[in-house]
Amino acid sequence: MNAPSDQKTFRLVGTRPIRPDGIEKVTGKAIYGPDFVAPGMLHGAVLRSPHPHARIRGIDTRRAEALAGVKAVVTGADFPGGAEGTVAGGETPTDLKYASIKCMARDKVFFEGHAVAAVAATSAAVAEEALKLIAVDYEVLPHVTDIEEALRPGGPILHDDVFTQGLAETPTTPSNASLRFAMTRGDAEQALGAAVEVYTGRFTLQPVHQGYIEPHACVASWQADGQGQIWCSTQGHFSVRAMTAGILGMSIASIRVMPLEIGGGFGGKTTVYLEPVAMLLSRKAGRPVRLAMQRGDIFRASGPAPGAVIDIRLGALADGTLSGADIEFKYNGGGLPGAYEVYSGVMSTLSCYRVPDANVVGWNVLTNMPTVHAYRAPGAPQTYFAVECAIDELARRLGIDPIDMRLRNVLRPGDTDGRGMTLGAIGYAETLEATKAHPHYAAPLGPNQGRGIACGSWGNYGGPSTAAVSLAEDGSILVTEGNPDIGGSRAAMAMMAAETLGIAYEKVRVTVADTSSIGYSMGTGGSRTTFATGMAVVQAAEAVIEIMKQRAAQMLGADAAGIEWRDGAAVLGEQRLSIAEIAAKSGMTGGPISAEAAIHPGGFLPGFGAHICDLEIDPETGHTTVVRYTALQDVGRAIHPDYVEGQIQGGAVQGIGWALNEAYVYDREGHLDNAGFLDYRMPVASDMPMIEAVMIEVPNPDHPYGVKGVGETPIVPPLAAVANAVRDATGLRIGDLPLSPDRIYARLQAAE
């Protein structure tokens, strides 16, 4: 129905073969971050600040060093000064100075759980005991965790050397507002003045964690010649290498990072917390050192997505055309500057709509919370929440169907998005048409039930990737890539290689190689891997085909120009040489056959999703039950539909959790009160209905198999889809997340 007429059919692309890493994972043999063991390895432990904000007057480690079994102790004093510059992370670049302070505090701690010292010892128990012997002399400072309190004059200032960036005049007094970034087009005030309806509202969101199951963990081993090795679970081992090198003043090529299997990241594993610390401990101890976080450390000291306060005015004409917008948001950046969510947030706000006159301003506000870090579509779900709720209200006031309202405003091919990119084959309108036509949209609702619609988009990315394709002696195929496989990408890479080569999927084996075994590849993030690394795999496979054609020509005594590649074989008239035959003779035709592609492709296209949420409210308790949920998304083309649907379902669940119950709860002392899965209320399986994922395939013509990124878009719409369903069920516009039972109950009571 929505398939464009030029839809190509493929042999493998679009099928659902078994993933090559599946058996290893379900039988427990796969080696994840915390599983890795090196001979002679020491056990490390990190001492973390009990205070959200304090000056460190001194640290006395002598008693810890004297404890039998302790082999090394490090503090901030062991870190070289002067780390600077930025390193490409996954979805957002990382500022090295603050990445270093995030690993280990220097003269101040900025959040509860900030690392202040670390030890390596012969057992985990000795390491823990040694931590108790470290005396830290803190001067406790007043703290602030709330965005607006952090901006109030006279309150605690976290950094004396942070002055708001992005103002017309450079300020002379330090501020917790570390960054202002704005995007202005047209004349928003005039457009709002001329609008028929203007929705004005304030929305607040709490910080939420990515909630990956596998904790951060690594083993680092420093050698006497100045080289080092790291085994860790990460979305990007090349950035682990660059960050560790940058923080420790080592050359990049001196560090080799071995990526282990990864048990979830969602953006949260695109930085380093432990690796430089473990490397320093290893350098002092002369032995490999393991560091691993406990769940409490993860909540207290690794980066959540920013909480936010968003003020919005959105204007529309009588026909539903969005005519003007004025949006100002403040993100809770946590303890250290350098978060980039404000940039991506500004560029994502309104990114799927034509709003000619718009003013969008974002602020990053520092507070005594863990420094925020990328989480699936970083910066976008927050502002989309405000925009999609505002559109819902405008549609109601104007008496327009919420999908029609969006269809009127959504970008079409040839339009320019918020980043200034002119977009080609986008399927926003196709996705909305499919949403309108979906049986869910017309299904009747029961008592106390409501239905919400919301959209969302994420820009996606290309980014640098390297991949190699080589022939084994028997003609089976090896694909080597540099992107950790989080969501089934080995399967997708094998499928694209096999499709290109014209052979069976099972003939191809994919390895995620370490930083010294394949060229640079940006991390698995930004919804880029299947697009960019997939393209590198296809190009390497095409180069291998060219080589094989030449080798076949030699074997047949013919001209390579006359050789065709068909169904996994070199064909010349009636003659046919298989890959196995070409491989068998490669010793006589020029040696091993292999090719590498190192690329930085453009041509990526954004993703777009439209979600329908039905939920039921218990009017006596404020409990919500999501009774039906459908997520439609323009996916370009799905290489392996299971993993595309899995991304859509997973993103939707994470967004629903953000909307319903997830939040960081701080007590008056600035201590995180729910640093565990029991009280940090992510959805459990029984909370959710089966989420129906509907793939709308509008292929990307700039990718050999039509790929657009899919991983991040699906977390963007659910926040507003849920809130709009609550609005529909109760008549209440609740702009504060989470929509927990007690909050809904209080609002229902107040409305009575």
Partner 1 sequence: MPSPAFHAPGTVDEVVGLLAGDPQARVLAGGTDLIVQMRSGRIAPSAVIDLKRIGGMSGVRVEAGTFAIGAATACTALKDCAELVAAWPGVVEAANLIGSVQVRNRATMGGNLCNASPAADSVPALVAAGATCVVAGPAGRREVPVAAIPAGPGKTSLAPGEFVVEIRLPPRPAGGGDAYLRSIPRTEMDIAVVGAGVSLVLGPDGTCTSARIALGAVAPTVVLVEDAAAALVGSRLDDAALDRMAEAVRAACRPIDDKRGTAGYRTAMAAVLARRTVNIARERAQSESTSKA
By the criterion CB under 8 A, which residues form the site for partner 1? Answer: 125-126, 128-129, 296, 620-621, 623, 660-661, 665, 673-674, 677-679, 681, 683-684, 686-687, 740-742, 745-746
Q: Min. distance of Cβ 667 from partner 1 in angstroms?
A: 8
Two structure tokens written together for 511: 């390895």
Ranges assigned E (strand) in 101-259: 108-109, 115-121, 135-140, 177-185, 197-205, 217-222, 228-232, 255-259
- What tokens does 611 get? 């979600």
Contact 100, 247 (CB under 8 A): yes
Q: What angle do CA 492, 493, 496 make, to 5 degrees?
A: 85
Rounded to a whole number of angstroms, the minimum distance from the CB of residue 565 to partner 1 is 53
Quick one: which H or E segment has residue 582?
helix 579-584
What is the rounded CA–CA span in Å between residue 182 and residue 362? 6
What length is written for the chain?
752
Given the complex with partner 1, which of 184 and 621 has the nearer CB atom?
621
- In the complex, least distance from residue 249 CB atom to partner 1, rounded to whole angstroms: 36
Least Å distance, CB 129 to partner 1, is: 5
Query: Closest CB to partner 1 among 131 and 535?
Result: 131
End-to-end CA distance of the chain: 47
φ/ψ of 467, rounded to 5, equals -145, 150
| In the block, residue with structure tokens 């069976």 | 504
* 546 φ, ψ (degrees, to nearest 5): -60, -45
The least CB distance from residue 296 to partner 1, in Å, is 8
Q: How far is the CB of 679 from partner 1 (least distance, A)?
A: 6
Give 170 or 686: the residue with its C-beta nearer to partner 1.
686
* Amino acid at the residue 498: A
Return the amino acid letter for 211.
Answer: G
Q: Which residue has the tokens 């960019």?
A: 532
Residue among 422 and 686 whose Cβ is closer to partner 1: 686
Least distance between partner 1 and beta carbon 205 (Å): 17
- Return the HEC string of 309-334: EEEEEEEECCCCCEEEEEEEEEEEEE
Of the candidates 216, 325, 323, which has an alpha carbon nearest to the alpha carbon of residue 264? Answer: 216
CB of 414 to partner 1, least distance (A): 45
- Name the burial class of residue 488, with classes exposed (0-12), middle (13-18) and buried (19+) by CB atoms within 10 angstroms of its CB: buried
Tell me the closest approach of the beta carbon of residue 276 to partner 1, in angstroms.
26
Q: Which is nearer to partner 1, 8 or 668 (CB)?
A: 668
- Shortest Å, Cβ 128 to partner 1: 7
For partner 1, give the closer residue by CB, 10 or 745: 745
Identity of the residue, 499 or 662, whose beta carbon is nearer to partner 1 in the bound complex: 662
Where do runs of H (alpha helix) occur along 438-576?
Answer: 439-442, 489-501, 534-556
Question: What strands, in cross-sheet order, belong to the sheet with 564-566?
Answer: 564-566, 569-572, 575-578
Chain position carrying tokens 């082999």: 71
Cβ proximity to partner 1, 148 vs 742, nearer residue: 742
Question: Residue 460's closest CA among 382, 339, 383, 352?
Answer: 352
Give the 3-state secondary structure of residue 562. Answer: helix
Extract the tokens encoding 233: 């679970």
Q: Which is nearer to partner 1, 415 or 687 (CB)?
A: 687
Q: H helices then E strands: how many in the chain?
A: 21, 28
CB of residue 231 vs partner 1: minimum separation in angstroms?
Answer: 25
CB-wise, 122 or 594, nearer to partner 1? 122
- Which CB atom, from 651 or from 683, has the smaller least distance to partner 1? 683
